[in-house]
A and B are shown apart, each in its own frame.
Chain A
Amino acid sequence: MKNFMMLFHSEPNPDLDPTPEQLQEEVKAWQDWMGGIGAQGKLKNPGEALGFEGKTMHADGSVTDGPYAEVKEIVGGFIIVAADSIEEAIQLGKGCPALGIGGKVEVRDIMILDGM
Chain B
Amino acid sequence: MDDKQLSEIFKSEYSNLIAVLSNYYGLTDLQLAEDIVSDTFLRALKAWSHKGIPEFPKAWLRKVAQNLLNEHYRRKKIYDEKITPELGAGNQQFNITEITDKIIEDSQLHMIFVLCDPKLKIESQLCIALRILCGFNIEEIAGALLSNKETINKKLYRAKKVIKERDRVETDLTSKQYVDRLDNVLRVIYLMFNEGYYSGKNEENVRYEMCWEAIRLGLFLSEQKIFPKQKIYALIALMCFHASRLEARTSGENGDLLYHEQDKRKWNKDLIQKGRKYLNLSAVGNSVSKYHLEAAIAYWHTEETEGKWNNILQLYNKLLTIDYSPVIAMNRTYALARANSVDEAIQEAHKLELKDNHHYFCLLAELYHMNNNSDKETEYLNKAIEFATKENEKELINNKLEKASR
Contacts and interface: CB of A to CB of B under 8 A. Distances in A.
B94 interface: no
User: What is the size category of the interface that chain B forms with chain A?
Assistant: 10 to 19
Contact of A32 (B313, B321, B324): B313
Interface string A1-43: 0000000000000000000000000001001101110111101
Contacts of B328: 39
B82 interface: no
Contacts of A32: 313, 317, 336, 340
A28 B351 CA distance: 20
B329 A31 contact: no
A67 interface: no
A39 B318 contact: no
Contacts of A36: 348, 351
B314 interface: yes
B321 A46 contact: yes
Contact of A43 (B316, B320, B333, B336): B320
A41 B320 CA distance: 8
B329 A40 contact: yes
Contacts of B351: 36, 39-40
Interface in A44-75: 46
Q: Interface of chain A, helix or strand or loop or mixed?
A: helix
B242 interface: no
A35 B317 CA distance: 4
Contacts of B284: none
B332 A35 contact: yes
User: Which one of B321, B332, B333 has the greatest number of beta carbons of chain A within 10 Å?
Assistant: B321
Contact of A39 (B310, B314, B332): B332
B59 interface: no
Contact of A41 (B318, B324, B333): B324
B352 interface: yes
Contact of A31 (B314, B352, B353): B314
A39 B330 CA distance: 8
A34 B336 CA distance: 13
A43 B324 contact: yes
Given A32-B317, A32-B340, A34-B320, 13 more contacts: A28-B310, A32-B336, A34-B317, A35-B317, A35-B332, A38-B320, A38-B332, A39-B333, A39-B352, A40-B352, A40-B353, A43-B321, A46-B321
Nearest 10 interchain pairs by C-beta: A38-B320, A35-B317, A39-B329, A46-B321, A41-B324, A31-B317, A39-B332, A36-B348, A35-B320, A31-B314
